[in-house]
Amino acid sequence: MEGISTATALWGAVVASGIYHGVNPGMGWPLAVSAALMDRAPGSLFKALLALAGGHLLAMAAILFPFTALLFLAEWQREIRIGAALLVIGLGLYLVFNRRHPRFLARVPPSRLALWSFLAATAHGAGLMLVPIYLGICETIDTDAGHAAAFELMSTNTGVVGMVAIVHTLAMTLSGGALAFVVYRWLGLRFLSKGWFNLDLFWAVSLLLVGAISLALVL
């Protein structure tokens, strides 16, 4: 029962982080609004959202998939989780003191939204935030090396990675898409110019919290 409740809480964290990323304008929903307004076509909004979702999904997978290979070494799982937690905390500290957006993102043209989304999610550590959650989910699955071959272990973890990335990206796209549609349909450019909200500091603090909680659970 305890394992089920822990897994439920961790999957809830996957969804919550997706909603959080979706609402954050830094993950690109204003670009979808801009595309629809410039083209004067609602279809452009959804095309842009799909491109942003594709790039975000690739960024999540690119960060998470290497950890499936690391989990081959089941006896090192504790060390891996500690290292991942410290990495997330380190990025959070960096972003607290350096909140400037990477300049290279401004050089990616709007026609390449998927590439922009991939680079933005990677640069802001969006995928890294999921690593401790993913490792916690893996711990709720029977991954004892004495009861499973290494290939089977990696296959299981690969499936979990896919589910984590897909569920997270779906939550991100639905929340960001809903906000983008409201802005496009009713609020317009005036909201984007006057109602912009900055979540950079909150983003950095959230990374610190995720890393600290994960580290506390391991220790």
pLDDT at 106: 66
Residues 6+ apart with CB under 8 A from 102: 119, 123
pLDDT at 26: 84
**Closest to 166 measured CA to CA, from 10, 49, 58, 27:** 58
pLDDT at 102: 66
Asked whether the predicted pLDDT for residue 94 surpasses 80, the reply is yes
Check if the beta carbon of residue 116 is closer than 8 Å to that of residue 28.
yes
Distance between CA atoms of residues 120 and 131, nearest Å: 17
pLDDT at 148: 47
pLDDT at 3: 55
Q: So where are the chain's domains?
A: 2-218
Q: What is the mean pLDDT of residues 154-160?
A: 72
Asked whether the predicted pLDDT for residue 70 surpasses 90, the reply is no
- pLDDT, one tens digit per residue, over 11-51 is 999 999 999 999 888 899 989 998 888 888 889 999 999 99
- pLDDT, one tens digit per residue, over 42-59 is 899 999 999 999 999 999
**End-to-end Cα spacing for the chain:** 22
Q: How confident is the model at residue 87 (pLDDT cuts 50, 70, 90)?
A: very high
Distance between CA atoms of residues 115 and 122, nearest Å: 11
pLDDT at 37: 87
Distances (CA, A) of 3 to 20, 84, 141, 155, 167: 25, 22, 9, 21, 20
Check if the beta carbon of residue 67 is closer than 8 Å to that of residue 84.
yes
Q: Return the DSSP state at 108.
A: S
